[in-house]
Amino acid sequence: MPLIWAAISAHGFGHAAQVVPVLNALGRRIPGLRTILRTTVPPSFFQNRLAIPWELSPTRQDIGCVQQGPLTIDVETTWQEHARFHATWDDRIQAEVDAMHRARPDVILADTPYLAIAAGAAAGLPTVGLVSFTWDLVLSEFPAPPNIDGETLIRAMRHAYGQADLALRITPSPHMGVFTRLTDIGPISDPAPSARDALLARLSLRPGERTVLIGFGGIPLGSLPMTELESLSGHRFLFDGPVPPNNPKFVSTQSLPFSFKTLLASVDLIMSKPGYGTLVEAVTLRTPLVYVRRYNFADEQPLVDYLHQYGRGVELGGADFSAGRWEPALTAAGNLPAPSVPPPPASGAEEAADVLAAYL
């Protein structure tokens, strides 16, 4: 039976959200397809999302970034963890090669661990990167501490990435010069059907009240400026974190009988950082997005440019976000006209599946 080895970065859920539609599209082409998910993304993410038979092999594939919540990157600790990761590089490569030889997959798909690419090459297996950024680009934004040779680490990452047989660059993405063969594919977006009527009935909204989904991805936001937001009328906040009890203005998404993807497709406004999955789905759904930037992450500017070209977006500054000064941004986003330019077709998953099917 055909088998694909999917190595997935576990820095949030964005990489897994890109891989799942590709695997589902591939499963529609290749009868009996199975996948090994080589990742520390929790199995609950793949349940009810991934339609082909899968086995989770929870092994760390890369460091990503060490963060203090979704908006703040601990730069020094990030570099230290990368240095530790690379100190045992040869052992990590051998462990991956041995696991690949035992599983005998037909192709390695990596989004975006460079470890899996280097190991796939060493194992003599076809290796394809699925990329909206690479970790060398991310680390290039951060100054390394004096005791760490950042340039050597970045060169090692680039050497590993360069061993891929092919990279599929997802729209929108930054420039990537590290791959010897690179093919551009369309956006990957797989929104759920709307359950707007059921959501509105569940919330018993007041006339004119707007629903705002606050979700910052797989790295959770610990709290909101609840006291400051109490006086903000006309909005009902759906939050994937803790909310005060018996306060109808704030609703825990865990208390609702809808998945996060269904809520994305059902609300009036979304608030998030400019992460790939949420932003591209907001554009596909034509839902306004209020975003809080980090200003030091490699794919952020292409994503923001894409949002403003094809969708509806308003930036909320970090200080205003923390202080609860949300009303101007929420009002501006809610009043934005419908985009005049349609987004590119969300064809990335199907295009990637077409390419990968040739290896199976």
DSSP letters of 143-211? PPPTTS-HHHHHHHHHHHHTT-SEEEEESS-----S-SSEEEE-----PPPP-HHHHHHHHTPPTTPEE
**pLDDT tens by residue, 23-36:** 999 999 999 999 99
For residue 41 the two structure tokens come to 């993304």
What per-residue confidence (pLDDT) applies to 312? 98
Rounded distance between C-alpha atoms, residue 267 and residue 287, angstroms: 8
User: Is residue 112 packed enough to be buried (19+ CB in 10 Å), middle (13-18) or exposed (0-12)?
Assistant: buried
What is the chain's alpha carbon radius of gyration, rounded to the nearest angstrom? 21
Per the prediction, the chain carries an average pLDDT of 96
What per-residue confidence (pLDDT) applies to 8? 98
Asked whether residue 218 carries a pLDDT value surpassing 90, the answer given is no
Compare 128 and 12 and report the one with higher pLDDT: 128
Q: What angle do CA 5, 280, 301 make, to 5 degrees?
A: 100
DSSP state of 337: P
Annotate 49-87 with b (16+ C-beta within 10 A) or e (fewer).
bbebebebeebebbbbbbbeebbebebeebbbbbbebbe
The residue among 197, 199, 193 whose CA lies nearest residue 213 is: 199
Per cent of the chain over pLDDT 70 is 100
The residue among 190, 187, 330 whose CA lies nearest residue 259 is: 190
Q: What is the end-to-end Cα distance of the chain in Å, rounded?
A: 10
Asked whether residue 336 carries a pLDDT value surpassing 90, the answer given is yes
Query: 338: left (phi > 0), else alpha (psi -120 to 50), else beta?
Result: beta
For residue 292 the two structure tokens come to 């809080």
Contact 19, 130 (CB under 8 A): yes
- The residue type of 135 is W
Q: What angle do CA 13, 16, 17 make, to 5 degrees?
A: 80
Rounded distance between C-alpha atoms, residue 20 and residue 16, angstroms: 6
Rounded distance between C-alpha atoms, residue 244 and residue 226, angstroms: 8
* Residues contacting residue 253 through CB under 8 Å, at least 6 positions apart: 213, 215, 238, 239, 240, 260, 263
What per-residue confidence (pLDDT) applies to 156? 98
Q: β-strand 166-170 against 235-239: which pairing, if any?
A: unpaired
Asked whether residue 248 carries a pLDDT value surpassing 90, the answer given is no
Domains 3-187+347-357 and 196-334 belong to one CATH topology:
yes
Per cent of the chain over pLDDT 90 is 91
Annotate 277-291 with b (16+ C-beta within 10 A) or e (fewer).
bbbbbbbbbebbbbb
In sequence order, what are the beta bridge partners of 252?
239
Q: Where are the domains of the chain?
A: 3-187+347-357, 196-334
Asked whether residue 246 carries a pLDDT value surpassing 90, the answer given is no
**pTM for the full model?**
0.95
User: Which residue carries 């040869």 as its tokens?
Assistant: 90
Rounded distance between C-alpha atoms, residue 35 and residue 203, angstroms: 39
DSSP state of 315: E
Q: Name the fold adopted by 196-334.
A: Rossmann fold (3.40.50)
CATH number listed for the domain at residues 3-187+347-357? 3.40.50.2000
* pLDDT band, very low/low/confident/very high, at 303 (cuts 50, 70, 90): very high
Asked whether residue 217 carries a pLDDT value surpassing 90, the answer given is no
